[in-house]
Amino acid sequence: MSSRFLERARRLPSLGLGLSTEYGALRAPGSLDLFEARRALPRCASFLELGVEVEKGLDRDARRWAREVGPTTYHFLDVNLHEPQDLDPAWLEGVRALVAEARPAWLCGDAGMWHFGPRAQGHMLLLPPVLTRDAAYELADGVAALREATGLEVLPENPPGHLYLGDLHLLDFFALLCERADTGMLLDVAHLVIFQAERGLPPTAGLDGFPLDRVIELHMAGGRRRDVEGLALIEDDHAPRLLPETWAAFDACAPRLTELRAVVFECERNPLRACEEEMRALHAALGARVAPAAPLHEALGPSPCAPHAPAPRPGPPA
Ligand SMILES: [Fe+2]
């Protein structure tokens, strides 16, 4: 890849393997105890991805993590990047205040429609984009505008969906988006597998020509096969076991993930004992299969239980 993004990417920290949360998620019965995970498997809980609606802000667990542990990323849950008016002054002011508190390494989030009509707390509709060139360009312009407004990199994520409109393959759509916005991206491998199944394609379809050197962050998550009134689909339920198709797509990507810095195992709705085995397997797979030169390895460590170096704190936006 030759782009200014690659130059900018050099300033992004390597975060390693981490976990994710949303407001109040850790207080739900049977959910993951982040701080227990950090104690038991520190190299599988190197950073925390904060799912954020500006109106709700950060809950006490997110605040405690930011204060006592450190590394975070900011995953938005409340902005339609394809709608320029959605980046309104009040929302941007809220984002900047939360960024000042949590000091995330970057912003990221599903590049889809989070709300229909005006933004409202708890909306979280999340429809996937229409897979056309025009829609990719609209999203790209929103990515560039949010990057400009916050001074942080904005990594669009391929959203989940069981029905896609538009003719492009999801990966071709994101290749167009990333090139137009001159950005990297967050590749959710489980979401990709859901798309491939919906199109009747193998899990690795379209990866050959895809610019994987733009992938800065990966999401890995379990899913569940369901039959809904005759419609076979994979539900993105963040179960603690990854599907074989997700592993297959990961294996196809890993050797070319030369700029990878962060991986989230999305398992927040499950207790640690249910996730531990897959966390260890993922840690081992990242160490063995991701491109040896990838920055990820700086933070990954040799073992999921290895002691942590002092937590990196991202500096102010360049
Ligand atoms: Fe994700």
Please indicate, yes or no, if residue 187 is contained in any of the structural domains.
yes
Residue 21 belongs to a domain: yes
Beta strands in 66-197 (DSSP E): 72-76, 107-110, 154-157, 185-188
| 315 in any annotated domain | no
63 inside domain: yes
**Inside any domain, residue 158:** yes
Gap from CA of 188 to ligand 1 centroid (Å): 5
pLDDT band at 310 (very low <50, low <70, confident <90, very high): low
User: Number of folded domains in the chain?
Assistant: 1
CATH number at residue 23: 3.20.20.150
pLDDT at 31: 92
DSSP summary character for residue 13: P
CA of 92 to the centre of ligand 1 (A): 23
Distance 312 CA to ligand 1 centre (A): 23
Pairwise CA distance, residues 133 & 10, whole Å: 29
Look at residue 60 and tell me if it is in a domain.
yes
**Model confidence band, residue 218 (pLDDT cutoffs 50, 70, 90):** very high
Let me know if residue 310 belongs to a domain: no
Cβ neighbour number for residue 182 with a 10 Å cutoff: 16
User: Does 315 score more than 70 pLDDT?
Assistant: no
Q: Quick one: which of 311, 267, 265, 258 has its CA closest to 284?
A: 265
CA-angle at 131, arms to 129 and 132, nearest 5°: 120
Report CA(293)–ligand 1 centroid distance (Å): 24
Residue of 44, 48, 41, 46 whose CA lies nearest to 21: 48
Q: From ligand 1's centre to the CA of 91, what distance in Å?
A: 22
Identify the CA nearest to 186 among candidates 243, 143, 134, 223. Answer: 143
Q: The domain containing residue 221 runs over which residues?
A: 4-300
Percent of the chain with pLDDT over 90: 81
Q: How far is the CA of 217 from the centre of ligand 1 (A)?
A: 10
Neighbours of ion ligand 1 (CB under 5 A): 188, 219
pTM (predicted TM-score): 0.94
Residue 116 belongs to a domain: yes
Residue-wise pLDDT tens digits, 83-139: 999 999 999 999 999 999 999 999 999 999 998 888 877 777 889 999 999 999 999
The Å distance, Cα 219 to ligand 1 centre, comes to 5
Q: What pLDDT score was predicted for residue 24?
A: 86
